[in-house]
Amino acid sequence: MAVTNAVVAGPDEDGITDALEAEGVEVARLEGVISRPQLEEAGIVDSQLYVLTDVSQATTIPIVCDLTDDIRTVVYSSDSSPEFIKAQLDFAVDPNLLEPAIVAEELLG
pLDDT at 2: 79
Residue 62: CATH number of its domain: 3.40.50.2300
Residue 3 has pLDDT above 90, yes or no: no
What is the C-alpha R_g of the chain?
12
CA nearest neighbour of 30 among 10, 52, 58: 10
Q: What is the pTM of this model?
A: 0.95
First to last CA, the chain: 10
**Domain coverage including residue 85:** 5-108
- The tally of domains found in the chain comes to 1
Q: What percent of the chain has pLDDT over 90?
A: 94
pLDDT, tens only, 8-56: 999 999 999 999 999 999 999 999 999 999 999 999 999 999 999 999 9
